[in-house]
């Protein structure tokens, strides 16, 4: 009835109603203009990020042309980087193997078991503080604690242990935020069916939080691969192919640093760009493998082969 009255007065030319209608149309047009502007701004930001990413990749690809080949990747002499690739894989996998279980279990305890006590708040503050410490301090700690106190020397094991401490805050915080997204109703339903709290966490909470855990692992991999100062102090600069985790080595990042530092001709810069290309490809492969493993487990959970009560 109110709408009919409004339409009748609008059609009859009532000035007050006409003014209200114009004011409402102006507000609607203003909201539409603001929404269009924000949409264009977000779309432009996305396009800019994509253009920057592809510009970097294309530039590295062009600069590494003629240097990036199988003899360069699989060679272990002066012109090959196979020892650096093996060292990088050792460091990434070992540091992630140490930090990921500890980080996930810590996040589970903080989110599922611990309350908001003063001690827990101190722990959260310590985790956030660790995330902001410069990487060179981690390198000095690893040099004194793992290399000298535990007598690992400059080795892959010492570097991986140091880097695992460095990436722990990233894994803990990202995993904890992922656990918080799981509705409490799912936990209550599982407990009401007779499942223990541990079973609820293992079969209900963790499968739902798996994408966040994989994200934390990918972020940790990116930081491990990109670090130079702690790796330089704990792993070393040896170009030999490591035979065990207690051997010294040189990661791709350190090798890239020394190539650019000691470059005296265009060929040195070409090999540096080729090393950067291999580093990008290696990180992409590791990230793809992590997502594939997470998808496989998610598929098992959806089919009832894993994660069922």
Helix (H, G, I), strand (E, B) or coil at 168: helix
Least trusted range by pLDDT, from 167-171, 258-262, 295-299: 295-299
Tokens 């207690």: give the residue. Answer: 246
Q: Give residue 211's pLDDT band: very low, low, confident or very high (50, 70, 90).
A: confident
pLDDT score of 97: 93
pTM of the model as a whole: 0.80
Model confidence at 90, pLDDT cuts 50, 70, 90, reads very high
Instruction: Give me 269's structure tokens.
Output: 């810069």
pLDDT in tens, 95-105: 999 999 999 99
66: left (phi over 0), alpha (psi -120 to 50) or beta: left
Which CATH number, 3.40.640.10, 3.90.78.10, 2.60.120.10, 1.10.3720.10, labels domain 77-302? 1.10.3720.10
Query: Average pLDDT for residues 42-48, to the nearest whole number?
Result: 93
pLDDT score of 307 more than 50? no
Q: What pLDDT, on a 0 to 100 scale, did the predictor assign at position 155?
A: 92
Question: Percent of the chain having pLDDT more than 70?
Answer: 84
Report residue 75 CA to chain centroid gap: 30
For residues 70 and 26, what is the distance between their CA atoms, to the nearest angstrom? 65
> What's the rounded mean pLDDT across residues 190-194?
86
**Extents of the domains making up the chain:** 2-63, 77-302
Alpha helix segments (H runs only) across the chain: 2-12, 15-63, 70-74, 82-108, 118-131, 135-142, 156-180, 184-192, 197-200, 206-226, 229-234, 252-261, 266-302
- For residues 7-16, give the mean pLDDT: 52
Each residue's pLDDT tens digit, 147-190: 999 988 899 999 999 999 999 999 999 999 889 888 888 888 88
pLDDT above 80: residue 63? yes
pLDDT category of residue 120 using cuts at 50, 70 and 90 = confident
């Amino acid at each position: 009835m109110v709408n009919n009255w409004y339409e009748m007065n609008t059609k009859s030319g009532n000035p007050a109603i006409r003014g209200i209608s114009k004011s409402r149309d102006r507000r609607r047009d203003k909201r539409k203009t603001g929404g269009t502007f924000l949409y264009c701004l977000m779309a432009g930001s996305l396009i800019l990020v994509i253009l920057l990413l592809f510009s970097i990749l294309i530039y590295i690809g062009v600069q590494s042309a003629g240097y990036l080949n199988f003899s360069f990747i699989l060679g272990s002499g002066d012109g090959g980087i196979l020892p650096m690739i093996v060292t990088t894989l050792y460091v990434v996998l070992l540091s992630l193997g140490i930090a990921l279980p500890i980080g996930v279990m810590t996040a589970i305890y903080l989110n599922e078991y611990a309350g908001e006590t003063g001690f827990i708040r101190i722990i959260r503050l310590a985790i956030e503080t660790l995330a902001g410490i410069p990487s060179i301090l981690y390198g000095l700690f690893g040099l004194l604690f793992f290399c000298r106190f535990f007598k690992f020397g400059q080795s892959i094991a010492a570097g991986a242990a140091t880097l695992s401490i460095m990436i722990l805050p990233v894994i803990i915080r990202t995993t904890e935020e992922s656990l918080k997204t799981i509705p409490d109703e799912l936990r209550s339903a599982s407990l009401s069916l007779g499942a223990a709290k541990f079973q609820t966490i293992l079969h209900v909470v963790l499968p739902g939080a798996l994408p966040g855990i994989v994200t934390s692992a990918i972020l940790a991999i990116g930081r491990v691969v990109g670090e130079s100062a702690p790796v330089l102090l704990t792993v070393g600069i040896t170009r030999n192919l490591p035979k065990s985790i207690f051997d010294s080595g040189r990661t791709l990042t350190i090798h890239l640093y020394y190539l650019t530092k000691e470059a005296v001709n265009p060929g040195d810069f070409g090999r540096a760009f080729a090393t950067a290309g291999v580093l990008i490809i290696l990180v992409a492969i590791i990230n793809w493998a992590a997502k594939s493993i997470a998808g496989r487990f998610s598929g098992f959970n959806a089919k009832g082969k894993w994660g069922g009560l």
